[in-house]
Amino acid sequence: MKNSVYIPSFYEHASGGVKTFFLNFEKSAEKIKYPFLESPAFAKAIFFANSTDLKLVQAAKKWGATIIQRLDGIFYAEKHGDHTAFLNADIKEIYSNYTDFFIFQSEYSKKQCEHIFGPAPESQSQIIYNGADHSIFFPGEQPKKISKQIRFITTGNMRHTSMLLPIIKALNMLQPDYSLELVVCGPLNDECRSLIDASPFCRWAGALDAHGVADQLRSADIFLYSFCNPPCPNSVIEAISCAIPVVSYQSGAMAELCDFNAELLTQMPSKLLHEYHDFSSEALAEVIRNCIKNFDKFAAKAKDNWNRYDMQTCVKSYCEVFDSQSNRNIDAIQSIQWCMKNIWRPNNTSSINLNCSLAEETKKYISYKKKHNFFKTLQYRSISQHERSIYHVNSVMFETSSKCNLKCSFCSQQYKENCGTFMELEQAKQYIAKLPTHLKYMQMHCSGEPFLNPDFPNIVALLAKRKIFTSVSSNGTMPFSRYIAALKAGLSELIFAIDGFTPETHEKYRVGSKLGNIAETLFRILKERPDGCRVGVQYLVTRHNEHEVHDMALFLRKIGADFFNLKTISFDIAVNSRVAQSSFESHKTWLPQNQHFSRYKVSSDRLKLKWPIVSCPYVFQPVIRANGTLGLCCIDLDCQVDIGCLDNYESFESLWNQEAYREIRDKALAGKLSICRNCNFSQMPLLSYPLK
């Protein structure tokens, strides 16, 4: 799966080849729209150069991620002396104990690492040469011709005099025979600056950006390079891409990179690791002289090979590795919890306020009632009988599935003898055709899991054509493909019911689900959803999960969810006697201790609703069940109230206006139906908190 690779951002503070490579890599990956993760959460692969935070590597290994290590030059005794073991400690620790896949910059780089750290498994490694951005580094328009004054150039991060001293000495030897100039591009330290200032033919062009370096390369004749044991130098690759003959020492990977102009590399002692005293200025001067004498030949070869090392090709090779190495099943929850502990909490300067004032809570309560036609009920009760008969609804519940794959606590689905049914596409077409044209809102769930119905995306598409706002709640256990198909079909709002931040708390209520799989699906939906749809979470607050509300809110903010709704739990909906008895007996262990998350006040041995039931809003949000029968409301899951079947009526309005149905609504509003007497569903305000 794409969008499952995380790259730690350590290179932003690095220098030299590592920084250059990763900045170029990031830019080229954007061109091919390859997505990377912004945090380790959900990471199936961790990719880095040399080393990174060992705690992250250890944690990622535990949650099942693939560790991909790019070896970008390591430390060795010939150069770094007694400090070598210390400098290599983290690199070697990861190399030896944690890495699943090695990427080497060259054959030489692989030999160097195996010489110092031991062999890497052949089946778990690949050589990928660096590349240059060929939109910046490319040959000049005119063929190169040597002129009276020969212009040499060297580029890179000049952090050691050995990168300049052999070159300057060699050019000093040639100065009596040639008119020459050496241009130096790149950052440099004080010692290197002193060397340049002391040499009359040297000029520092500055620490230029890529475009500036490319312009300098194209205006030069010969590229000179002096570096001990380079694994795959970006400077050389950029020079090759500008079709300039490269003169250097046969050290490190230079023989691999410049095999087409091998004559321009000085012979070196036959050993894997060279030292600076192996770099002979006399030998370099002879090779430079050979390049000048046979310039046309070497320039032609350089022109023929300028496109060898393209960054786009390099990046595609890396992405192929990522795709092949990021197919593991991971423990997504472990990755989320690691981020929460090590990244999100310490850096979370703006906390999410979950403590609303009374005024704010009242405002949200009124808003919720308004959305569910609460004020319409007052209007309905105040008008004449005749006007009531032609009253129109603005929203309905459209149950596409009465089947469910979970056995949630306090849900009557677990006690049903039949397995439920699906609304087929042809049925849906007929029912939708009978709906009033002014319908604005449709809630596409009721007693079952909507996404079990294979026709669900097609039904959504029918409603999208009528420009009806469609909202659906899912337990999140279905495959990603079903959710994304519905969103692409025009689904307006997708709600995932997640009832805990840890598997233990979520799965205590949502029996039969796996939180890790749900979280991973939600994350992927948020990354790949089409524009214009809302995706978020509804969270049933219980005593078991109330302490995790803030963590869930912070997590949803980090992954880009649109909303986070807190739903209060109910214990006395006497629709199903077995559910009612079970839930009432369990209220002491399920009711949140924080009264902010409860619809009840606890009074001695009984529960009392915080808000009195004035009028029911749900008689104006009827349910069209999967089998076509009309339900009074979403509370009547067991079909206690017989209203009628839409199949037997020409339109929804004709069913709505029949005398028997009007009498049922009047009884419901007056609280005279048995199903309504203990109902507290109108006390279910969704406490919605902004995540942006």
| pLDDT for residue 399 | 96
Report residue 223 as tokens.
């590229």
| pLDDT for residue 574 | 45
- Residue 520 pLDDT > 60, yes or no? yes
Q: What is the mean pLDDT of residues 144-166?
A: 91
Q: Could you tell me if residue 71 is left (phi over 0), alpha (psi between -120 and 50 degrees) or otherwise beta?
A: beta
| pLDDT for residue 352 | 54
Instruction: Give the burial class of 464: count Cβ atoms within 10 A of its Cβ; 0-12 exposed, 13-18 middle, 19 or more buried.
Output: middle
| pLDDT for residue 253 | 95
| pLDDT for residue 262 | 95
Q: How confident is the model at residue 365 (pLDDT cuts 50, 70, 90)?
A: low
Q: Report helix, strand and coil shares of the chain as percent, to nearest 5.
A: 45, 15, 40
Report residue 81 as tokens.
């002396």
Q: Which domains does the chain have, with CATH numbers?
A: 5-131+313-343 (3.40.50), 150-308 (3.40.50.2000), 393-690 (3.20.20.70)
- Residue 535 pLDDT > 90, yes or no? yes
- Residue 679 pLDDT > 80, yes or no? no
Could you tell me which residue, 382 or 315, shows the higher pLDDT?
Answer: 315
> What backbone phi and psi angles, to 5 degrees, belong to 131?
-140, 165
Q: Which residues contact 37 (CB under 8 A, 6 or more apart)?
A: 3, 4, 5, 6, 43
Report which of 616, 571, 620 is spatially closest to residue 598, judged by C-alpha positions.
571
Tell me the per-residue pLDDT of 72-110, one tens digit each, with 9 for 90 and over. 878 777 677 778 888 889 999 999 999 999 999 999 999
Tell me the per-residue pLDDT of 560-595, one tens digit each, with 9 for 90 and over. 999 999 988 877 554 555 555 555 567 778 888 888
| pLDDT for residue 84 | 82
| pLDDT for residue 578 | 54
Report which of 519, 456, 518 is spatially closest to residue 487, judged by C-alpha positions.
456
- Asked if residues 397 and 373 have their Cβ atoms less than 8 Å apart, the reply is no
Report residue 191 as tokens.
């010692």
Strand order in the sheet with 222-225: 202-206, 179-185, 149-155, 222-225, 246-249, 265-266
Could you tell me which residues are beta bridge partners of residue 541? 568
- Asked if residues 630 and 645 have their Cβ atoms less than 8 Å apart, the reply is yes
| pLDDT for residue 12 | 56
- Asked if residues 200 and 168 have their Cβ atoms less than 8 Å apart, the reply is no
Query: Element (H or E) spanning 204, and its range?
Result: strand 202-206
Q: What is the mean pLDDT of residues 442-460?
A: 95
Q: What is the mean pLDDT of residues 493-511?
A: 95
Q: Of all residues in the chain, what percent carry a pLDDT higher than 70?
A: 85
- Residue 348 pLDDT > 80, yes or no? no
- Residue type (1 letter), 594: N
| pLDDT for residue 614 | 60
If you write DSSP's letter for every residue of 478-500 in order, what string do you get?
S-HHHHHHHHHHT--EEEEE---
- Residue type (1 letter), 16: G
- Asked if residues 19 and 27 have their Cβ atoms less than 8 Å apart, the reply is no
The SS3 call for residue 396 is strand
Q: What is the mean pLDDT of residues 107-124?
A: 87
Tell me the C-alpha distance between 280 and 154, whole Å.
17
Q: What is the mean pLDDT of residues 632-643?
A: 84
Could you tell me which residues are beta bridge partners of residue 180? 150
| Calculated CA dihedral for residues 513, 517, 518, 519, nearest 10 degrees | 140
| pLDDT for residue 344 | 87
Q: What is the mean pLDDT of residues 32-52?
A: 92
Could you tell me which residue, 17 or 205, shows the higher pLDDT?
Answer: 205
| pLDDT for residue 457 | 98
Instruction: Give the burial class of 86: count Cβ atoms within 10 A of its Cβ; 0-12 exposed, 13-18 middle, 19 or more buried.
Output: exposed
| pLDDT for residue 360 | 60
The CA distances from residue 660 to 249, 656, 667, in Å, are 97, 9, 11
Query: Element (H or E) spanning 567, and its range?
Result: strand 563-568
Tell me the C-alpha distance between 92 and 89, whole Å.
5
Q: What is the mean pLDDT of residues 455-463?
A: 98
Tell me the C-alpha distance between 502 and 544, whole Å.
10
Q: How confident is the model at residue 349 (pLDDT cuts 50, 70, 90)?
A: very low
The SS3 call for residue 132 is strand
Q: Which residues contact 55 (CB under 8 A, 6 or more apart)?
A: 342
Report which of 191, 215, 202, 193 is spatially closest to residue 168, judged by C-alpha positions.
202
Length of the chain: 692
Buried b (16+ CB within 10 A) or exposed e, 343-359: ebeeeeeeebebeeeee
Q: What is the mean pLDDT of residues 325-354?
A: 80
Q: Across all residues in the chain, what is the average pLDDT?
A: 87
Tell me the per-residue pLDDT of 611-627, one tens digit each, with 9 for 90 and over. 666 667 678 888 999 99
| pLDDT for residue 684 | 56
